[in-house]
Structure 1
Amino acid sequence: MLRGSEIKQRLGAMRFYLLLAALLLAALYAGVRMGNVQYQYQKEKIAGLEQTIDSITDENHKLTKGLNIVGVELEVERLANQKLQTSLKQAMEGEASLRQELAFFQKIMAPELEEQGVVIESLDIEASNSRGYYRFALVLMQKNQKKGMVQGNASLTLQGTVNGESQELDLLSLMEEPPAKLGFNFQYFEVLSGTFKLPEGFVPQRLKVDCNVTKPKRGRLERSFRWVLKNTVQNSTQGNT
């Protein structure tokens, strides 16, 4: 292998320095090229990372927006539920107030029954599975602290219209097997129930309940319920005296 001094002697000083400069330039050029390749690679990698960051940022914005929407919906639902609970509470308070007023007027209109503590608590009517048939449930209750036996019988009169003309029907006569009397005998409460068929073309409006109390002492109790027939399979009652 030739040494630098030998190469210098053979080529001469000028040629030796030219060759050395060429080698340096070649090394410099190779370094620049390698640096450019490395720079381009790093630039592309950075661009890919920036694109990934932008994508993640957009997805994060979408998720944040979605969470905000869900939060607003939950807040609206919470406020609506709170408003519904408030309305329900007001309705229950109103019902309690109406019951108190009802008891007050009942005491004025029928003081003898208030003394006995016998009341018509409620009347429910609902459609059965058979078309035109309905079930009724009449609740009688004794509210005295010292409760004795209460006896008597009840009659129910259905008031309504047929072709625009007023008509009254005995509810017991509309039952398939009508009892002779709708009697009651209880100490605390009793539910009188049965099934009846509404005549074709009859539009119910009210149902009047008349209770004849024979024990512990004679007296009468009347109460009228409004019955609104919503359609052929659903109806409701609302009590008024």
Structure 2
Amino acid sequence: MLVVVVVLLSAFALYRLTRASAVSDFAAATSERDRLLDERRQLTRELRVAKTEAETLRDQVAYLSRSQEIDTGACQDVKQSLGQLQAESSDLREQLAFYRGIVSPQESQAGVRVYEFRVSTMKTSPNQYRYDLVLIQPVRSDKRVGGQVELSIEGLKSGKKRTLKLDDVAVDGARNLLFSFKYFEEFSGQLKLPEDFRPLRVTVSLQPGGGQAAIEDEYEWAKIVQENAEP
């Protein structure tokens, strides 16, 4: 009986010890689980906030990128418009100067004169050129002036000086330039120079009628020739 009592007491003591240890471990595990759940909830909230901030930043980047594209396009449009306005302004200034030379007696010379003369290369041939000539006279004259224009081109051919008349080089039939106008008149035509001819200067001679004195202007070829005129 004594042995049985000792065994029973030992078993009861072992049960109490095991139960106390299990309860303590369960309480610790429960506490750790609650702590981990709290950390998970906190991390979930932080992740949600981070996602919101990331979406906001993406929207801001997209807005700024689009704004930059719009600003760049607008800047290019402004530059293009400014260039067109500057070109138009230059054309208007040239036209104003042209008409001012016609209608302003105090700014113009008496009698017929050359307002503009230029020569342009042709795309069709390296030795073919287009010429443009503008003659004017002031309004105060208020009468038609008539006469003839003579063009001569001085240059070198085979190392020797030679002068070519318009009749020698004209290719479009306009060999005699007769003028008759009150305010201004324009002439244009095409020239074809010999292959071995090197032009140096052009002389434009105006022979007005009515006893007016002849007018002669010289132009250096290198200063008046321009590139690529349309055929």
**Coarse TM-score class (shorter-chain normalised):** 0.5 to 0.7
Percent identical among aligned pairs is: 23
Choose from 108, 112, 120 the match for 1:126.
120
> Is the Cα contact below 8 Å between 2:133 and 2:186 reproduced in 1?
yes
SS at match of 1:31: helix
- CA displacement 1:33-77 (0-9 Å, x = unmatched): 3423653685598589879979x69x96xx89xx7xx99xx7xxx
Aligned to 1:185: 180
Instruction: Measure the CA separation in 1 of the matches of 2:17 and 2:171.
Output: 131
What's the offset of the Cα at 1:27?
A: 2.8
Comparing 136-145 with 37-46, greater Cα deviation is found at 37-46
Instruction: Measure the CA separation in 2 of the matches of 1:207 and 1:126.
Output: 13
1:31 has 2:35 as partner: no
> Is the Cα contact below 8 Å between 1:204 and 1:229 reproduced in 2?
no
Instruction: Measure the CA separation in 1 of the matches of 2:141 and 2:224.
Output: 42
Number of equivalences: 187
What's the offset of the Cα at 1:128?
A: 3.0
- 1:1-241 → structure 2 map (5 Å cutoff): 19=19, 22-36=22-36, 39=39, 114-116=109-111, 118-131=112-125, 132-176=127-171, 181-215=176-210, 217-228=211-222, 234=228
> Is the Cα contact below 8 Å between 1:149 and 1:185 reproduced in 2?
yes
Q: TM-score, normalised by structure 2?
A: 0.58
Comparing 126-135 with 154-163, greater Cα deviation is found at 126-135
What's the offset of the Cα at 1:146?
A: 4.2
> Is the Cα contact below 8 Å between 2:151 and 2:165 reproduced in 1?
yes
The code of the aligned residue for 1:209 comes to V
Q: TM-score, normalised by structure 1?
A: 0.56
Q: Which ranges in structure 1 are unaligned for 5 or more consecutive residues?
A: 1-10, 101-106, 108-113, 236-241
Instruction: Measure the CA separation in 2 of the matches of 1:190 and 1:205.
Output: 26
> Is the Cα contact below 8 Å between 2:169 and 2:193 reproduced in 1?
yes
SS at match of 2:33: helix
> Is the Cα contact below 8 Å between 1:203 and 1:229 reproduced in 2?
no
Instruction: Measure the CA separation in 1 of the matches of 2:22 and 2:204.
Output: 124
Instruction: Measure the CA separation in 2 of the matches of 1:180 and 1:15.
Output: 136
- CA displacement 1:114-162 (0-9 Å, x = unmatched): 432x220011222334312222121100113342100111111112223
